[in-house]
Homo-oligomer: A and B are copies of this chain.
Amino acid sequence: MATKRISDAVIRRLPRYYRYLNALEAQGVESISSQELGTRMGVTASQIRQDINCFGALGQQGYGYNVSELKQYIAGVLGLDRRYRVVIVGAGKIGQAVAAYPTFRQQGMDVSALFDIDEKLVGKSLPSGAPVLHASLLPQYLKEHPCRVGVVATPGAVAQESADILMAGGVKAIWNFAPVDLKVPAPVVVNNVHLTDSLYVLLYMLKEKDMELGVVDEVE
């Protein structure tokens, strides 16, 4: 699919479009106007039209957008129409949550194995069927089962080392849950889910709101 280069701001909004279109399709909605989609998403109709224009999809003047077509189009832009074999480093709660995440599989992500050093976890199979293997086996595993996507769900202290092993084994995209910023060379892409950062922002918002409303700093 040929698309023009899309700005980062629009890219960050695309997943949200995809989520809404997915939900609309599930509800049996066949077509939707930019006005109605904007109302649901809490943005203006003009923003919707501008974004959708920007990534090159065609609106049908007067008829609105065909929900399934637009969803498929965005899936193509995002690369959700491909399948990816995935390994997860770290089989703790977060690694397991990612392995079990239903959307993950629906979006073409096949988790082939998890890796950990915890002997209580190694040798288990998760409900998804993916085995937990010892972390020392990861380099050999990647030689035998090339994977393009790797998840880092380890403690911060070993996250960079884990990423280095993934990259040495040919992984090209890293989804990082460790609370550190990974150093990756230019041909590799990384996206972070920094849970602590998100929590800190929430607590800050709460504190600001308290100050605004004159709530006394309570000890609970």
Q: Please classify how large the interface on chain A is, using the bins under 10, 10 to 19, 20 to 34, 35 or more.
A: 35 or more
Q: Return the chain B residue nearest A156 by Cβ.
A: B23
A78 touching B195 in the complex, CB below 8 Å, given contacts A19-B179, A97-B97, A172-B209 = no
Task: List B contacts of A205 (CB < 8 A).
Answer: 173, 189, 191
Task: List B contacts of A146 (CB < 8 A).
Answer: 220
Q: Judge whether A82 is part of the interface by a CB distance below 8 angstroms.
A: yes
A80 touching B18 in the complex, CB below 8 Å, given contacts A93-B96, A93-B100, A149-B206 = no
Bound: A15/B11 CA distance, A: 23
Q: Judge whether A134 is part of the interface by a CB distance below 8 angstroms.
A: no
Contact among B12, B173, B219 for A206, CB-based, below 8 A: B173
**Distance between A157 CB and nearest chain B CB, rounded to angstroms:** 10
Within 8 A of B (CB), among A135-187: 146-149, 156, 172-175, 179-181, 187
Stretch at the interface among A28-36, A63-71, A103-111: A103-111
**Distance between A188 CB and nearest chain B CB, rounded to angstroms:** 8
A79 touching B207 in the complex, CB below 8 Å, given contacts A97-B94, A103-B196, A202-B189 = yes
Bound: A96/B93 CA distance, A: 7
Within 8 A of B (CB), among A76-99: 77-80, 82-85, 92-94, 96-98
Task: List B contacts of A217 (CB < 8 A).
Answer: 82
**Distance between A152 CB and nearest chain B CB, rounded to angstroms:** 12
Within 8 A of B (CB), among A191-218: 191-207, 209-210, 213, 217-218
Task: List B contacts of A209 (CB < 8 A).
Answer: 172-173, 187, 189
A109 touching B200 in the complex, CB below 8 Å, given contacts A93-B97, A220-B85 = no
Please give the residue numbers on chain A whose beta carbons come within 8 Å of chain B beta carbons, in ascending order: 11-12, 14-16, 18-19, 23, 41-42, 77-80, 82-85, 92-94, 96-98, 100-101, 103-104, 107, 109, 146-149, 156, 172-175, 179-181, 187, 189-207, 209-210, 213, 217-220
